[in-house]
Structure 1
Amino acid sequence: MAKWGEGDPRWIVEERPDATNVNNWHWTEKNAGPWSQDKFKELFSNLKITNNLADLKVNEIDKCEGEASANNRKGKLIFFYEWNLHLKWSGTSESGKTYSGTFKIPNISEENDVSEFDITVSIDHDDDDDEGTQIKKVLLKDGVATVRSQLAKYVTELKQEFTKGMILPKKDEVKPNNVVNHTSGFNKNKVNMMPVVSDKKQLGTKLDVTTINDTQKFQCKAIEFYDALTRIEMVTAFTHGPVKVDLFKNGTFQLFGGNISGEFLELEPGKKIVQTWRYKAWPPGHHSTVTLSMEEKSDHTEVTLKQTGVPTSEAEVTKGNWQRYYWDSMKQTFGFGSFIH
């Protein structure tokens, strides 16, 4: 909500040169169904299942039922998809015997993480066929892992493909071909990346590090803040450039043209994100650890940042860049920053 007597920027219709969906207020939708079907065919045609027991592969899609769409509502990207897939597989054992069967995935949807998709395996063989039984065990481990990896690619590429053009620039906003300075991340001219030598007699160098602490208030639900930092379409929107987000434990991320990168250590939706985090110009191999804790209040969400292992010489500029490139940009992009005072 805005201050008394002032307009809430989310309610103000701004001019756009093309007069299209001003301020991204109206609901817009793109049908992602045909694209998804083509993508599934690409991902699951002659897909080799790596293992040491048999020559196995996914041949083709036997059944593909469902739908997918990308939606822009009030500047927020929302993806809906629900699919039921049956995949044919075949293989040859070490003895030369051929086998075949099906992978079934009935619950591919945005309501579940890729790791939660149910994947079952069927195999056409006699119950007393020991070799077939061993192959099924391989399929339950290596086969399911391979299929799940391809499904993760589908989700990532769906969001990357349909993020394009969904969030339209506002009046006087920087155009995509002019965002190099903004998306390049942190200001290299202000950052001295030389490590601090704590002992001149030491043969190597020891990096002097410190901890950054910060607390911010956002006018949104805790889960909305969490989504803004983990859903690829929302991360793309507030960073204004291509990103990589593999949302699972030990999954990696890259933001601001690769200048910021790291790995997810803990993910608790609406509660906490723990990640390794490094700036590209830091000494090779040096990572800090970022902990973002979310506490939902009656009218806002309080976010606490703790970043350990930050080079001391860059602590001030790093904290300032969190404010500029994360907090301010998120508040401006998603309307998380208006309060009654």
Structure 2
Amino acid sequence: MAKWGEGDPRWIVEERADATNVNNWHWTERDATNWSSDKLKSLLLGLSVENEEGVCEVTEVGKVEGEASINNRKGKLIFFYEWNLKATWTGKSKSGIKYKGSIEVPNLSDENDMEDLDINISLNKDEPETPLTALMKTKGADKVREALGSYVGFLKTEFTQGMILPTANGVSKPQSSQSKAKVDKTQVGAESSTAAPPNTGVKIPTCKFSMKETFLTSPAELFRVFLNQEMVQAFTHAPATVEGERGGKFRLLDGNVLGEFMELVYEQKIVMKWRYNTWPCEHYATITLTFCDRGSETELKAECRGVPESEEERTKHGWQRYYFEAIKQTFGYGARLY
């Protein structure tokens, strides 16, 4: 048995005299069925695609049948999920004619790779032929596949929180008083160096990546979207806490995203510490948003550093869906995608 403060933290048993299932190391099982059903509906509902022929949107998720569970066996997570999904899509041509069809996914399962997933899209029998069917079978199917891939990612990250506790929480030394010093809150535009994330006592492999998006608005307006609490609540469709100043904290999407504004340069740059609440305790990525004036448009570049390697795709998808696309749809800043 390891001594307190040494060795693998999963075997630390100071608080358990009988050492039974310490930190869920030996066994844990969770039923993810209800959570999965809600998550699948939320990811699919409202998906939309468009081209020169018109626009299509998933307007109803009528059938979500199946089950999902996660088992932990001696530190290894085993995922099981099997779903049969049916949804309704509605199309509207440029001339204003409306159409309705169906989407069926019969084999969303841990046994099938995402690229092998069957996505059957059809037009209702009583509907006249329309090019929008082809749009749904191509771009629409890709969107559905992407959403279902996100579900698998969330199942393996968001829902598994607490099943295995490999970090040194409670073992690492407390932060020094210097690391807890309150950041001076000065006016927007003041320069500062970005503080390093606190040491969690656990090394994890990280990555960096960048994303670009163009918005049909001015840098000033787009800058304000990220700092104004009411505007953040509008595009996230959920309560949020946003202190829009240097050193100010934010908490979004029911607490799933949180962080702190480290540097603000009006209309030009936002630097923030940013994390999902499922990441190892106190681990933050550094997100730098750069706003470039392109006349009638604003090009936004997001540079992300310190993202856990296992969270790269989830983080990219989250920023694309819950920030970029949500901001465009909410405030009408839609523009071409890069």
The structure whose RCO (Cα within 8 Å, separation 6+) is larger is 1
TM-score of the pair, normalised by structure 2: 0.47
TM-score calculated relative to the size of structure 1: 0.47
**Rg: which structure is higher?**
1
